[in-house]
A and B are shown apart, each in its own frame.
Chain A
Amino acid sequence: MLRIIMALVLTVQGIAHAGPMGFKDSWMAMGDFGPNWRELWVNYALTPRDAVGGGLLYMRSDDKRKTRTLTEATYTRLLHRWNTRESQANVWLLGGIGGVEGNDFSGSKLMVSPGVQLDYETTRMYVSGMARLYRAYRTHGASGLNHDYASVRAGFSFFEADYDETQPWVIVEARRMRALSDKLEVTPMLRLINKGYFIEAGVNNSRQWRFNFMYVF
């Protein structure tokens, strides 16, 4: 089963992070795919504010020599939400614990990945920031790992859309991950939001394609 899921992850490619969980009693699947970063999450919202799930993350260095594959159990907490007539803002806590494997060390290391995401959205404008630690600690003489990650996103929509219409957005994301890439990855993307799906596609400053999606079921 794990191989099937990994195959799915490796054939598609980056995560959208508009809101990392759905509504109470819903399942949400999220994917973020590119040559150096492939991520797939599925979580279930136990309450309007808490979701548990699992995720798979494949990371590769810019020179393609170093890889990491993280399989983790995740917890997402909506710490606070501000709803106004014209906007919504959120503070999310993200957490993960799992095993990471790499092509430059043997076996699997225990990795923890706590993080925080802030976002603000109106019908025409979107901004968000996310910081997440990806740490595997030194054990029995084996060295630790630090792949801490940060991203910011900003975008706008061309027009307001009705509930049953598809709304196009332009989103620009800048992100960086420690110890695998020295570059700031910048990706302009076209986002399409519909009541049934959320997809993004773009090309980054290394001319690599990216595709993100979210789906609630």
Chain B
Amino acid sequence: MAGVAQANFQTIKAEVNGMVCAFCAQGIEKKMRSLTQTQDVYVDLKNKVVAVQLKDGQKLSLDTVKDLIKDAGYDVTRIETVGDSAQQIRAATRARK
């Protein structure tokens, strides 16, 4: 039986304090998308989450993401690397609503 290959995503997921409006939070998305390592970005204003999906084989330190979010004017309270894509995190968030 042929198995379905499971994509192995690498996404940095951060919980961010101070994200109260989309216009203000656009800086986070722009900062993250400017990185060459970035494949996709998802900003979840309601749950205060920023997810940065990396391109295959790319590396990005958690501190870099943390510093960029700080430069955009916000505070990171929790940050981790997860195996879901930004799209999957978006879909899971929407399914919970």
Contacts and interface: CB of A to CB of B under 8 A. Distances in A.
B55 interface: no
A216 B72 CA distance: 12
Interface in B39-61: 43-46, 48
A144 interface: no
A164 B94 CA distance: 13
B22 A167 contact: yes
Contacts, number: 84
A195 B22 contact: yes
A86 B28 CA distance: 17
Interface string A54-87: 0000000000000000000000001001011111
Interface stretch (A15-23, A36-44, A201-209): A15-23
Interface stretch (A109-117, A155-163, A180-188): A155-163
A18 B70 CA distance: 19
Contacts of A85: 17, 48, 77
B48 to A, nearest CB: 6
Interface residues of A, number: 33
Interface residues of B, number: 26
A163 B25 contact: yes
A86 to B, nearest CB: 7
A162 B48 CA distance: 10
A198 B45 CA distance: 16
B23 A214 contact: yes
Interface of B: 17-18, 20-31, 43-46, 48, 70-75, 77
17 contacts: A18-B21, A22-B27, A23-B72, A26-B27, A48-B72, A83-B74, A85-B17, A85-B77, A88-B20, A121-B20, A123-B20, A123-B21, A161-B45, A162-B44, A163-B43, A195-B22, A195-B29
